[in-house]
Structure 1
């Protein structure tokens, strides 16, 4: 065999060996790919199972929560329905009671007419007395009293719809309210009187309240059934005094301030916690405790609350002193109101008059925005225009007392 054949044979053997190694390597890599594919498929199957289980749990939880929410809402509807139907049930009971009385009276009357002569006089006398007692000429007064609640002004107004007697004139009304969703059914008396409207105070803003009203006629002691409850709420923030002012103690609702410490000669001003007085409203101060008067004392409203002043008798403020003097932008008016004492009620009503174009004349007058103020104290009031430096839609209120012992409620 020649050398060339040997070389070719050797190369062939090496190629065969290389092909075997190549095939073996590829087979190992193919095996690795198969293993990787099994792992991917296994992981995917596990992920699918986890997702199905997770979403099944979510669906179960969502179904449970929705069922609970539905149950709660249905319970609320049931409660509202029961609360609304109750006045109608009361009306029906009252009418059915009257029908029952009439049926019984008819039976007695017919029996009296049929009885013998010996019993007729007694039977007819008893029948006549009972008929007079029932007052057959006077129907029971059944009303549908419809409430109209005005959220912005917190005013509650009602109108009367009679089911029986169109000419009936209610002599007195009774208004009640309670917080909606409080978990109880206890209503508080808000008002008893002849007026058909009433301002309900001390309501929390953005909280729903239920209102109902009933009436009674002249000379009657029993009230009519309650109206169907109506929901109302207020968006107005409550008037509050600013906490932390030296020399003043506030009530828990921050609507009552007591001048507590007058050891220093200063007469600090206690401002409202925010600018919560809006034009078009009535701001009321009620004096529940009085003390020694001082010319620096003041009750009023102002544009800002940052000035270091010992009284509201300053620029950009209107006020009344405890001696009845009225101040506008720090200047005392010639008109004077009654002195402020225990039980005094001071009211501020304001409306925007107009906007002035800025000019030298306006600036010399002290402002370019005019508010018309009606200030009342006791049985008197004064009306005047107040010029301020800028357009305002809400104002602060405040008070200052030189001597301790003064207590004032704001609403």
Structure 2
């Protein structure tokens, strides 16, 4: 009987645990539904507000443009009127002056005719002379109506049709943005953002990526505009939440599409930094850019990272932004330690590529060679753990090695892949560079 009770108790416990898990899963789905409903309603409110604001601005701008055009046309009418009326008013003044002279002459003539015989001769003589002086047979010319302006307004009703057509196609509403963020991968002091099109009918010419610190408030800032579908955002503070969003611009269009749903991400990895205080090198404020500053022979022209911040599974990148004279000891490397009493990175416990493209593993040069490192070169190191057990491949050089890393070094459009054997497992690695002559400048990320 006790066995049956124990079985029932066990089944009851399992059922209770299953019910708890079931309830927890349902609660998570309810939370997901709440977030989805909030997104739909919130984005709908934002879309309504954006449409109202946009069309209010358009209406105000249209009224302003029409008012400005009306003022220009009315000013043209005023100018034509003023220019055309002036000579007519001058002619009118001349005619009115002639009418006045004629009236005076008529009164004088009538008076001369009514005067007595003693004054008649003098009055008539004076009248005759005055009449001859006025030139009664000379009349001013009055322009015909066809020769003076007839001001009119030419109104093209087709503008309304064009406006109706353009307004009918202006703006649009979509339920989903044409591009969405696909993946966020943390990088030392940064975040690799990948995105993809979700609308196959949308022909994207450019993409635009923005980010901001924090999930509420703050302004987004542009960090990338181009044709690629991924971008490494650098200079992010570790353990700080950042929001990322992306949009696209269609072929032959000037306006950008709606923004994707913002995605939050946090990098827990400290940024790669060069070690400060190394003779012969000048560092940027963030210590991710180093420049070989002088040609004074240094006891050790090697610059290491400030800490072992490179982990397997990551991509370490060096970008050369300035180049100087080369030397056979110049190199870029990943190493187990930061030995300061040596003069070359082509040593044990290190893998490196020299500026002439030669690759060294634990101080031994490989037969494969990469393109030479020069201005604009980008060199990458990728590593993954292959084996944590003793390696026995009848190679005397491998005696004692019990840790193997698969290393890929890329430069230009070529890469080499090899196994790096170490005596003990390592969790993190240093990186370094060595330049004998000044003029070299490189960014690490």
TM-score, scaled to structure 2: 0.60
RMSD: 3.4
What SS is found at the alignment partner of 2:420?
Answer: strand
CA offset digits 1:148-207 (Å, max 9, x no partner): 553534222345566xxx7334443211012227x9733221222334332211211111
Give the 3 Å change call, closer, same or farther, for CA 189–97 of structure 1 in structure 2: closer
Deviation of 1:364 after TM superposition, in Å, equals 3.6
C-alpha distance in structure 1 between counterparts of 2:48 and 2:428, whole Å: 46
C-alpha distance in structure 1 between counterparts of 2:366 and 2:209, whole Å: 41
Residue 194 of structure 2: aligned partner: 157
Residue 329 of structure 2: aligned partner: 296
Gaps of 5+ in 1: 1-80, 102-121
Paired residue for 2:290, among 257, 260, 275? 257
Paired residue for 2:264, among 218, 227, 231? 231
Paired residue for 1:277, among 304, 310, 314? 310
C-alpha distance in structure 2 between counterparts of 1:196 and 1:290, whole Å: 30
CA offset digits 1:248-300 (Å, max 9, x no partner): 11111000111123312644211101111111111111111111100000101
Assess if the C-alpha contact under 8 Å between 2:280 and 2:298 holds in 1: no
Residue 32 of structure 2: aligned partner: none
Residue 104 of structure 2: aligned partner: none
Gaps of 5+ in 2: 1-37, 59-155
C-alpha distance in structure 2 between counterparts of 1:359 and 1:339, whole Å: 34
Residue 377 of structure 1: aligned partner: 411
C-alpha distance in structure 1 between counterparts of 2:53 and 2:265, whole Å: 33
Paired residue for 2:361, among 316, 328, 353? 328
What SS is found at the alignment partner of 2:166?
Answer: helix
1:213-232 matches, within 5 Å, as: 213-232=246-265
1:38-117 matches, within 5 Å, as: 85=42, 89-90=46-47, 93-94=50-51
What SS is found at the alignment partner of 1:234?
Answer: coil
C-alpha distance in structure 1 between counterparts of 2:48 and 2:248, whole Å: 13
C-alpha distance in structure 1 between counterparts of 2:53 and 2:296, whole Å: 71
Deviation of 1:139 after TM superposition, in Å, equals 5.0
C-alpha distance in structure 1 between counterparts of 2:214 and 2:196, whole Å: 22
> Which 4+ residue blocks in structure 1 deviate beyond 6 angstroms?
95-98
CA offset digits 1:3-26 (Å, max 9, x no partner): xxxxxxxxxxxxxxxxxxxxxxxx
CA offset digits 1:92-137 (Å, max 9, x no partner): 6449979xx9xxxxxxxxxxxxxxxxxxxx97x6665445434659
Residue 173 of structure 1: aligned partner: 207
1:391 aligns with 2:428: no
Give the 3 Å change call, closer, same or farther, for CA 87–363 of structure 1 in structure 2: farther
Residue 347 of structure 1: aligned partner: 380
Residue 344 of structure 2: aligned partner: 311
Assess if the C-alpha contact under 8 Å between 1:256 and 1:408 holds in 2: yes
Residue 276 of structure 2: aligned partner: 243
CA offset digits 1:62-98 (Å, max 9, x no partner): xxxxxxxxxxxxxxxxxxx99x947851466449979
Give the 3 Å change call, closer, same or farther, for CA 194–260 of structure 1 in structure 2: closer
Larger Cα Rg: Structure 1 or Structure 2? 2
What SS is found at the alignment partner of 1:277?
Answer: coil
Deviation of 1:307 after TM superposition, in Å, equals 5.0
C-alpha distance in structure 2 between counterparts of 1:331 and 1:186, whole Å: 52
What SS is found at the alignment partner of 1:278?
Answer: coil
C-alpha distance in structure 2 between counterparts of 1:363 and 1:306, whole Å: 25
Give the 3 Å change call, closer, same or farther, for CA 346–132 of structure 1 in structure 2: same
C-alpha distance in structure 2 between counterparts of 1:392 and 1:86, whole Å: 48
What SS is found at the alignment partner of 1:152?
Answer: strand
1:408 aligns with 2:442: yes
Deviation of 1:230 after TM superposition, in Å, equals 3.2
C-alpha distance in structure 2 between counterparts of 1:318 and 1:87, whole Å: 55
TM-score, scaled to structure 1: 0.65
C-alpha distance in structure 2 between counterparts of 1:191 and 1:293, whole Å: 33
